[in-house]
Structure formats: C-alpha cells, structure tokens
Homo-oligomer: A and B are copies of this chain.
C-alpha cells in the first residue's frame, strides 16, 4: 500500500462542502474524488483532508491523502483524475508520502483568504469568489483590529456551535487586511489551526469594525470574553478560500513574505 498525497483546487459553488455525507444534501468534493477514483481503479478509498471546507467555500491549495494498492505511478495520478473530474475540481500535484502522513493531523499551519467586494454595485466577475458588502469599509481600522487577533489566544468567542473542538487555544501568525484592487479587500489569516467557522466569524467581526460599529480597541476584550454572542456576524461562505496547508517546519514568514510587509 502506498500513501498518496494530493494537492487540489476547487470552486465550492456547486458543492455541499468538502466532507462526504448523506447524498441528499448534494455532491461533496470528497464524494466526487472518491467515486472518480473508484471509476479509475475500481478501488474504494477514504480520503483524509487538511481542511473540511463548508458548503460554498473554495480551495486553491487543499491537501488530501489516501492509501492505495493501485500501481499507477504517482506522476500519472493528476491527469487520470482530471480526465474524469468535473471542471470545477482540479488535481494539481500528487506524491507518494510516508505511511504516517495524514493530511489533517500532520498539518503545521494553514492559510485562508477571504475576499470582500466593497464596490457599491457588485463586480459580476467576482460574485462567486468574493462576498459583496456595499457599505464602505475602513480597511485601516480593520487592519488595526486584525493585529489584535495575532498571537496565541483562546478563540472560543470566534467558534461556532457544532464544532468538535474541546480546546480553543489557537495561534494566529498573521491576519492581514489589504485593499488589493479598487475596493476589493483581501483578508488573509495564517494560523496553526482554526475552529469551526472561525475565519468567517473573524471576517464578520472585522467587517463590523470596517463599518465603524466596533472599535479596533474592543477586540482584546471581545477575545477575552469567550462569549460567542460578542462576535455575532459570520461572513458568507463563498468569500472564503483555503489557500495553503503547510507540513514542513518552514515558517509562514518564509513561505508568504508578502503577508508580513
């Protein structure tokens, strides 16, 4: 048996999230990958995934792994998968890794990006990948607030009910807010792990700051409250993209220098 690691990208618009579940909800990325493999190789696999993205969330660098007895050379796996996958899922890389590698548990840190289309009239071509907010947001305030989130904290305030985490301490290495194009705002979050809906709740809170409804200086107290009711806003799923999962000892600063400017 070989342990195969895949890097993949997908447009989450048409999927009911990554994780396989009752099919009545609609197709999932995991279910689609597993059934394509069954068609290719006639082998039933179970994928482990780095980030269980919600319905509508995208990925440009999701990582999964699975054990296989198939003899297909790993360099041929992306093309084989892509020949049968729908056009909104693409396998970017495949490699053979050590048996103990697990896409979820071996991850050292991850990067998620959230896009906000802050134009008055939404940009048609961003509508599937950015969340539209017509109220003008103050990105300076948002960046000041984001800086308070960096470091090791108990993030219970920012964890939605329904997650399976019992410990709420996480480290955010970087939370950057940038207007990268005319009124297109990118929030990048790099951390050693994220609680259920945590990035979307962080972005929802930063948007309240951007509107002037919450002051940046209130963030430390909101974190310390451990009270979910203090961070009520959850940003829509379709603005979120899982960008990168890191398994080496490289620091985010080495991999994403531009985020630390």
SS of A interface (majority): mixed
A92 contact set on B, CB distance < 8 A: 121
A112 contact set on B, CB distance < 8 A: none
- Copies of this subunit: 2
CB–CB A11/B87 < 8 A: no
A91 contact set on B, CB distance < 8 A: 121
A11 contact set on B, CB distance < 8 A: 124-125, 127
Q: Is A129 an interface residue (CB 8 A)?
A: yes
- How many chain A residues sit at the interface, stated as a range, is 20 to 34
24 A-B pairs with CB atoms under 8 Å apart are A9-B123, A9-B124, A9-B125, A10-B124, A11-B124, A11-B125, A11-B127, A58-B124, A58-B125, A60-B124, A60-B125, A78-B121, A82-B121, A87-B122, A87-B127, A88-B124, A88-B127, A89-B124, A90-B121, A90-B122, A90-B124, A91-B121, A92-B121, A125-B129
